[in-house]
A and B are shown apart, each in its own frame.
Chain A
């Protein structure tokens, strides 16, 4: 019966104070929804590759090349021969497998598909517990003619037919081979760094023409996974990797006779469960997560929750004095303190559960957008323990939020409250509320500054001149395949004829789509040991003109001149002729030339062939071009040379004007006529460049959304509080009005009262935000100045003040306008 009375009085209280209740419930609901969304994200990020049966003992090796005068080159792939040395030197390593992703053309009957295939070693199947849908996995990769498909591909290629035993043909460009399907496995899950579509066995003999893949120590094109006996073996391996490198790596081409491999090479290994969030370096098969990001969003979730709980506590304690009479009467009727605490906690939990129901609705509404921004497939699983966890969270929030008000309210002394008929509130609770408001605003302002900094850096990246024109450029990919390469000349001619097209070129790499490829360079007077390692890219004729890259001195490659470099084979046979080379301005500086024009006409030597061959080609610098940002702003521009690829490239770049779609259709038609079988793959340069910042953009959006929510919840609380304060100060306002204060005087008074906490919040938020965001900006070599953070802080501060003013003013005016005698009479 008592419970019924509590529920009734609780419900009527919610109902009676509609403004307070809706602010409380809405604030909590948004807070809970935000926390649920973030938790879904964080949980997914933490779940990567934890599901493998052997997860504790599966590791991947990583490598860092420390190149003098350059950013270190970090890769999550490993040199091809490392696997053999690892198995030989470490008895702890029980199994190991390389994983090289190749995209051959797959011919199924008359149809051709371009599909990523993972080439692996035989141990792969015993290391990773794949789920077989048909076929026997133990013998599925016994020979280099076996192929395992995922269900997705099996259905795509063979429909409903049983694929086991069927054959298809893979064209690797170097060679062609028929494969027999030996097994079909379950589709790869989304939370793995090892997404598999198709598996075939590595046979090193197949790749003798392309040693960089599996045979070279200084090329890293395949990932290397290995399994140890015990999880702790990883520490031992990491601790002894330097000696291992010195034993196994061949003599380095840099650093002189005394150089050790470990001076320039850093091997390391990481457990498979840590890869998604902690691995560093290029060569990942699928986008990685980021531990900092997970941490930041977890922190935001906690902050939002704190803001929502603070609101809840604030509004409840603020209303405490209004309920003082009820409390006092209940006490007079015999209620004990614990009765009252129980009642108020119950009320707070009741409010939280109403908020919970609304929050689940909000989460379901937000999930489609959320998933799109994050490129994930997150969902609440109602059948699992998800609901239990969410309910638990609500319960904790309800109790936390209700605890303080419950104790304050239950502590009222009935005699004082009933007799004095004055504000029953202690100055301690007023002070606590002020502190809580300061905290709320500090958090909101901090989040706002962070969002603004992330957004500004994105804008900076977007607007910064990369050194080339990224607009109106269509890229046609996969022109390196033999069948396309043969027709490159014709393709270029045909596409050039299209009315919209102004220029066409080809290259091995395009901005946002690069490889790490280096060569040794030395000036004539330099010894080979002092040679400098620099980046190299292969470009076609008209590359610089098509990309609108500024030529600082000299000229670029011209068909009329004999610019084509000697082939390595020709040098082997003793041919010696200077070839032309175009370098960037960083390379000119690194080589020691005082200016771009000083470099023109100078000779440099570049190493060719295998490191042990000692072959060199002599180059004459014919042109120096401006430094351009091929890679993201996170990387420093490297010194690099641009080799002429007169007849071959990976990507065709088409500069055009007018409608992109029309152009794409026309180019696709030309492709379709010239090249049967190979699907047309294209992209626009602008998008490729933007994609380099996809992670940051997703982060910026999430940041913006959640800090917006935090600010909104804080404002809700402020609104309620301002409303309450205005009510509480009715008498004072009345007196002041009788004394001659105008409406404006009164509003000013209330505004000032709420400006103080916002000022203090700024003082707290600024240094923290400055520290955190200058740290974040360090990730970018090219970034906005730190003084921007201060500017944005000032904007955030003024913004917060304005928002607080608007919030307070909207409900102060009506109070200030009220007839003072009403206020004074209510005594």
Chain B
């Protein structure tokens, strides 16, 4: 599905250059469920954003479906992204002014899909995540777990093959967190590739493989045993 080679990312503020990712080498196959772990500030989110094409690498290669997208323009990336990648965030990032249904539909609005088909797909995905009874509620009227279900529904409604989740359970209590993880596992079973950043070793257990980052570098699996 994707292959990252020799990829680095650094940020430059006025006089300090910070290296967020340093010579990363990763390959992810279709259908995998990857958990990315590591302490705060190790570059997990930067890696996820780079995979999600929200951020461009400073150097290196990024093959997505055999296309090197590392130097693509923003518009080109946006186009690949909207057809292939769905996002789930820790803070849900729903639009406060839109209802549950409208929030989910938003992901289809930029796909040139006719209105009738959009409605149909939204209804279907709401059923999948069990939020149909809240379709007309506003995000502020939902619990955190329910909000995250909406976000999951939004991430998959466009038939994206890969889902990127940035600490999807970080704002949820244990029970709701567990529900969301089960939902992701089910999606993975249905063929979606999932890349998830998490702090929780328990939730990392749901993944088929774990990548650990430390100071912007992938740590060898050998070290994992030590920790």
Interface residues of A (CB under 8 A from B): 422-423, 731-732, 734-742, 745, 819-821, 824-825, 827
Instruction: For B56, give the chain A residue with the smallest CB separation.
Output: A819
Instruction: For B85, give the chain A residue with the smallest CB separation.
Output: A738
What residues of A have a CB within 8 angstroms of the CB of B219 in the complex? Answer: none
Any chain A CB within 8 A of the CB of B87?
A: yes
Instruction: For B80, give the chain A residue with the smallest CB separation.
Output: A740
For chain B, residues 68 to 116, give those with C-beta under 8 angstroms from any C-beta of chain A: 75, 78-79, 81-82, 87, 89, 91, 93-97, 106-107, 109-111
A824 to B109, CA, bound (A): 20
A792 to B133, CA, bound (A): 52
Of the candidates A732, A736, A740, A741, the one having the most CB atoms from chain B within 10 angstroms of its own CB is A740
B47-70 vs A, Cβ < 8 Å mask (1 yes, 0 no): 001001011000000000000000
Known: A422-B96, A732-B95. 15 other contacts (CB 8 A): A732-B96, A735-B93, A735-B95, A735-B106, A737-B78, A738-B81, A739-B106, A740-B79, A740-B82, A819-B54, A821-B49, A821-B55, A824-B89, A824-B91, A827-B93
Q: Taking the nearest CB of chain A, how far is it from the CB of B7, in angstroms?
A: 17
Please tell me the size bucket of the interface on B: 20 to 34
Q: A819-B55, A824-B89, A827-B91 are in contact. Are A739 and B110 (CB under 8 A)?
A: yes
Q: Taking the nearest CB of chain B, how far is it from the CB of A805, in angstroms?
A: 22
Contact of B54 among A422, A736, A741, A820 (CB under 8 A): A820
A825 to B93, CA, bound (A): 10
The majority secondary structure among interface residues of chain A is: helix
Are the C-beta atoms of A741 and B89 separated by less than 8 Å? no
What residues of B have a CB within 8 angstroms of the CB of A745 in the complex? Answer: 110
Are the C-beta atoms of A740 and B81 separated by less than 8 Å? yes
For chain B, residues 21 to 70, give those with C-beta under 8 angstroms from any C-beta of chain A: 45, 49, 52, 54-55
Q: A738-B87, A745-B110 are in contact. Are A821 and B54 (CB under 8 A)?
A: yes
Top 5 closest A-B pairs, CB basis?
A740-B82, A740-B110, A827-B91, A821-B54, A739-B107
What residues of A have a CB within 8 angstroms of the CB of B96 in the complex? Answer: 422-423, 732
What residues of B have a CB within 8 angstroms of the CB of A738 in the complex? Answer: 52, 54, 81, 87, 93
Contact of A741 among B45, B94, B97, B110 (CB under 8 A): B110
Of the candidates B54, B75, B109, the one having the most CB atoms from chain A within 10 angstroms of its own CB is B54
Instruction: For B90, give the chain A residue with the smallest CB separation.
Output: A827
What residues of B have a CB within 8 angstroms of the CB of A741 in the complex? Answer: 109-110
Q: A738-B54, A824-B89 are in contact. Are A732 and B82 (CB under 8 A)?
A: no
Of the A-B pairs whose beta carbons lie under 8 Å apart in the complex, a sample of 19, sorted by A's number, is A422-B96, A423-B96, A731-B93, A731-B95, A735-B93, A735-B95, A735-B106, A736-B106, A736-B110, A738-B52, A739-B110, A740-B78, A740-B110, A819-B55, A820-B54, A821-B49, A821-B54, A824-B91, A827-B91
Instruction: For A735, give the chain B residue with the smallest CB separation.
Output: B93
Q: A731-B93, A732-B95, A732-B97 are in contact. Are A739 and B54 (CB under 8 A)?
A: no
What residues of B have a CB within 8 angstroms of the CB of A740 in the complex? Answer: 78-79, 81-82, 107, 110-111
A820 to B54, CA, bound (A): 7
A488 to B55, CA, bound (A): 93
Instruction: For B48, give the chain A residue with the smallest CB separation.
Output: A821
Are the C-beta atoms of B78 and A742 separated by less than 8 Å? yes
A732 to B95, CA, bound (A): 6
What residues of A have a CB within 8 angstroms of the CB of B87 in the complex? Answer: 738
Instruction: For A422, give the chain B residue with the smallest CB separation.
Output: B96
Instruction: For B151, give the chain A residue with the smallest CB separation.
Output: A735
A2 to B45, CA, bound (A): 44
Are the C-beta atoms of A734 and B82 separated by less than 8 Å? no
Q: Taking the nearest CB of chain B, how far is it from the CB of A562, in angstroms?
A: 92
Q: Taking the nearest CB of chain A, how far is it from the CB of B156, in angstroms?
A: 13
What residues of A have a CB within 8 angstroms of the CB of B97 in the complex? Answer: 732
What residues of B have a CB within 8 angstroms of the CB of A821 in the complex? Answer: 49, 54-55
What residues of B have a CB within 8 angstroms of the CB of A827 in the complex? Answer: 91, 93
What residues of B have a CB within 8 angstroms of the CB of A737 in the complex? Answer: 78
Instruction: For A741, give the chain B residue with the smallest CB separation.
Output: B110
A735 to B147, CA, bound (A): 15
What residues of A have a CB within 8 angstroms of the CB of B78 in the complex? Answer: 737, 740, 742
What residues of B have a CB within 8 angstroms of the CB of A423 in the complex? Answer: 96
Instruction: For B93, give the chain A residue with the smallest CB separation.
Output: A735
A711 to B75, CA, bound (A): 37
What residues of A have a CB within 8 angstroms of the CB of B45 in the complex? Answer: 825
Q: Taking the nearest CB of chain A, how far is it from the CB of B209, in angstroms?
A: 25
What residues of B have a CB within 8 angstroms of the CB of A819 in the complex? Answer: 54-55
What residues of B have a CB within 8 angstroms of the CB of A825 in the complex? Answer: 45
Instruction: For B94, give the chain A residue with the smallest CB separation.
Output: A735
What residues of A have a CB within 8 angstroms of the CB of B93 in the complex? Answer: 731, 734-735, 738, 824, 827
A741 to B107, CA, bound (A): 9
Q: Taking the nearest CB of chain A, how far is it from the CB of B155, in angstroms?
A: 10
Contact of B82 among A422, A731, A739, A820 (CB under 8 A): A739
Instruction: For A737, give the chain B residue with the smallest CB separation.
Output: B78
What residues of B have a CB within 8 angstroms of the CB of A735 in the complex? Answer: 93-95, 106
Q: Taking the nearest CB of chain B, how far is it from the CB of A30, in angstroms?
A: 34
A819 to B81, CA, bound (A): 14
A736 to B98, CA, bound (A): 12
What residues of A have a CB within 8 angstroms of the CB of B55 in the complex? Answer: 819, 821
Are the C-beta atoms of B49 and A739 separated by less than 8 Å? no
Q: Taking the nearest CB of chain A, how far is it from the CB of B74, in angstroms?
A: 8
Are the C-beta atoms of B109 and A739 separated by less than 8 Å? yes
What residues of B have a CB within 8 angstroms of the CB of A734 in the complex? Answer: 93
Are the C-beta atoms of A742 and B89 separated by less than 8 Å? no
